[in-house]
Structure formats: C-alpha cells, structure tokens
Amino acid sequence: MSKTKNKTDDASVFIVGAGPGDPGLLTLKAAACLKKADVVVYDRLVSDDILAMVPDSAEKIFAGKAARDHFMPQDEINQTLVDLARLDKIVVRLKGGDPFIFGRGSEEAMFLAEHDINFEIVPGITASAGCGAYAGIPLTHRGLVTGVRFVTGHCRDGQHLDLNWKSMADPNTTLVIYMGLINIQKISDELIKAGLPADTPAAGIERGTTPDRRTIITTLDKLPACIERAELKAPSLLIIGKVVELSDTIAWHTHAHECLMEEDGVATDA
C-alpha cells in the first residue's frame, strides 16, 4: 500500500479489536464497523453476543485458532482478506482483545499493505486490561510496581519456550502471560529459578469479563497445581506480581477464589 493511498475513509478492510468478551466493552468505532460490514472474518475468542451485532446481510467467516489447533492457517486468513477486498467488499477482521497484542493483527496489516489494500486498525480493550479490571487486579499500582510486561507463554510447534527469564523475574514488574496454560509448570519453575520469589502473588483468569469467568488467586510456586485442580481452560490469562494481592480489596465484579495448598492437595475456597 503506497503512502498516498493510506486513507482510512477509503479503507476496505478494518482490523478490529472486539475486546475481551463482555459486549459492553466493544468500542463505538468497532460497533460502527460491524454495522457497515459486508463480510466479517472472526476469531474463536469473539463472543456470541458480539457476533449477534453483525447485520444479517453480512457474511460471517470463522477463522478461529487455538493453541496447536488452527481452523484456518494464518497465511490462508491473510489471502482471504485480500481476496475479499478485491471483490469490493467491506471486510471486518474481528479479533478478540486488541489486534496488536498477541493478535497477529500486524502480520495481517503488513500482508494487506504488500498487496495495496487500504485498511484501518481499530484498537480494542486488551484481554489483560479487561480481565484484570474485572478481577480487581490493577496492572500497575503506585508503590507496588513500576511497570507491566506482556509475554506469550505459547511457543511455535516443535520449539521450546525460550524466554529471557532473568529479565522477567523482576518483583517490581507485573507479568501478564497470554496462552500460558500449556507451559505453566515451566513458567513457574523458570521464574523461581531466575530469582522471582516463590510466594509472589499470582492469578489465573478464565474467560475474563464474561458470565463464565473464573479467577483463582495463589502464589507463583502453587500456580500450576491450582490451575490443574481448578481445571482452568483456555482462554485464560495469568497475572503474576504484587498487584494480585489487591484483588481481595478491590474486586468489584466477582470475588476470586483463593487456592490453598493442603497436605492432600489443593483446595479452592471462596
């Protein structure tokens, strides 16, 4: 896409963040895009309530992806967006959370640009911001942490999870880990080995902001066992850091469950 053609009023593809699940968190701009769409190409994490906002006249194409289970490979998604745009369709690429936070929205935008397709990026409320807020876990808090770091806990097929554990093991930083359930034991072990205290507060949030949301509160060393006992499933978000301990005071939506270790295993108490 040449710079002279990069005008959002001429865009034919809108890469839109749908937010973390609660339809009330969909932005006004995202809702406006849905209303004018000819085709909506949507991901697995887009809620039914948000899909219900798509006009009956619009075609809906499922392009859902889960860890190690791709309904539509990324290169096929990229080409589909180009093909639809060349048919003079108004295309909404609808993605959970925000397209640029582990959403591969930038890859799709680059592919569109390389094929001279005009596009617009519509940010969404991130899973980290939405899930944390609903669980009463601020990602930053004066006097507790000085920053926040977003990390993917998922690795490409056939590769090992190789992160800079030493730089991540900072007690003054909140860690938000996307797609971390599969590798949670390694994540916990490596962070502790790198120097992050084993008793660092930690949370697992399943389907945050939705009616089916569940949150467990524990510590870093106990997080893998608690996740297993609670049977948390994807989509889940992990938050590790001192801010997690604030949930007990400021959880406004639903209180988390405190996961306690006992001699005979893990108990989940309200």
Give the residue numbers marked as catalytic: 43, 65
Contact criterion met (CB below 8 Å) for 38 and 12 = no
Contact criterion met (CB below 8 Å) for 166 and 192 = no
Q: Which of 229, 205, 207 is nearest to 217 (CA)?
A: 205
Sequence-ordered list of residues with C-beta below 8 angstroms from that of 264, at least 6 positions apart, any chain: none
Q: Tokens in use for 25?
A: 């968190």
Q: Tokens in use for 143?
A: 């006097």
- For residue 168, what is the enclosing H or E element? helix 165-168
**Across-strand partners of 70?**
65
Instruction: Enter the DSSP assignment of 158.
Output: T
In whole angstroms, what is the distance from residue 244 CA to residue 239 CA? 7
